Structure formats: C-alpha cells, structure tokens
Amino acid sequence: MTDSTKTAEIIGSVGKVIEEQKEYLTELDRPIGDSDHGINMARGFAAVEKKLPTVAGKDIGTILKTVGMTIVSTVGGASGPLYGTAYMKAGAAAAGKTEIGMEDFLKMLGDAIDGVKMRGHSDVEEATMLDAMVPSLNAMKEAFAAGKTTKEILDAGVKAAWAGAEHTKGLVATKGRASYVGERGLGHQDPGATSYAYTLQAIASNYC
C-alpha cells in the first residue's frame, strides 16, 4: 500500500538514483547510441524535482501524469517520449486515487508497458527498456498470484529487471539509433533497460 505523499518520495528517490548513475548510463549509450541517455534523463528528473511541490497532496494519478509531462518536455530524444508515456499511462491508471495496493500497482506497470510498446512500435527481444520492463512485471504478477508478501513481490521484480537488462547484451537492436550499428551492438547492455532496472529498484526500496 502506498499513498500520494509516499509516491512523491518514491519519485524523488528515482531521480536520485538516475542522477547518481548519470555517467554510467551515458557510458552505456556511447558505443551504440549518441552518448546522452544519462545526461538527458538526469536533466528530466531535475525538472521533475522542481515540479513535484506544485502537485503535493494531489492524487497519485495527477502526480504521475505531471512527472510524465515534465519528462516529455525536458528529456527530448527517444527516452523522453518513452519514459514520459510510461509515467503518464501509469498515472492514468491511478487517476483520482490517493492510495494504491499491489493490484493497482501491477495494473499501472502493465499500462505503462503497453504505452511504451505503442509509442516505440516495439516489443521484447529488441534490446530496449521493454526487455527489463516485461519480465519484471511477469515475475511480480507470478509472485502476487502465489500470495507472496509485498517485499517478496518487489524483490522478484527488481531481480528480473536486472536479468532482463543483462539479457540485452545478447540481443541485436532493431529499434532506435542502436539499430544502425546492427551486430556491432552485441555485448553491450541497453541503457534504457538499465535505467529501468534502477528505476524499479528505487521504487522497491521506498515502496513500503
């Protein structure tokens, strides 16, 4: 169970880990992209941090929608629309709610994933953030169905997200700028899948 105040704190912690990992994420982007993923994401979350006080006390849907809009208008490139869409879709699934449970949370992640697939015209196994997002949601759904505790469910999600990010090393990108390098991208971990694993990790450690 989490509420509006907690949601704002969680977003703050996501921003913190993105800022901490800014250079690492940018470094991952260098061989396959245009070496700006960490820089762009950190710029977006710096803007989010400034924006959060303006929605303090609002419902979770409004908070996440604001996060999404802010990311979209400050990050640019492909990460801006993709992460922005993810937060906006999650927000739409939580519209009007000031408290959410695990079932709501899993629905929000599912909608976020659908949004990313739609926006990126993409799916798993294409070396993108979806390769961390989809397996992690599946792992959480499985744990939820098995009646596991909140902590166990989130831990399963984080573990699967990191495994998914690792898995992108063996994939040839067919979407985004990385597709121009083709097989030369093999062996490189996708920066978007990595930033998503960090995101879910931050959410998990602050959820309860």
The token duo for 47 is 């803007």
φ and ψ at residue 100, rounded to 5 degrees: -135, 150
Task: Identify the residue among 91, 176, 191, 192 touching another protein (CB under 8 A).
Answer: 176
The token duo for 46 is 């710096």
Task: Identify the residue among 38, 61, 81, 91 touching another protein (CB under 8 A).
Answer: 81
51 binding another protein? (CB under 8 A): no
Residue 147 DSSP SS3:
coil
Task: Identify which of 43, 53, 194 has the alpha carbon closest to the alpha carbon of residue 131.
Answer: 194
8-state DSSP, 128: S
Backbone φ/ψ region at 176: left (φ over 0), alpha (ψ -120 to 50), beta: left
177 binding another protein? (CB under 8 A): yes
191 binding another protein? (CB under 8 A): no
85 binding another protein? (CB under 8 A): yes
Footprint of another protein on residues 116-145 (CB under 8 A)? 119-120
Find the shortest distance in angstroms from Cβ 72 to another protein.
5
- Contacts with another protein by CB under 8 A lie at 34, 69, 72-78, 80-82, 84-85, 119-120, 172, 174-177, 179-180, 182
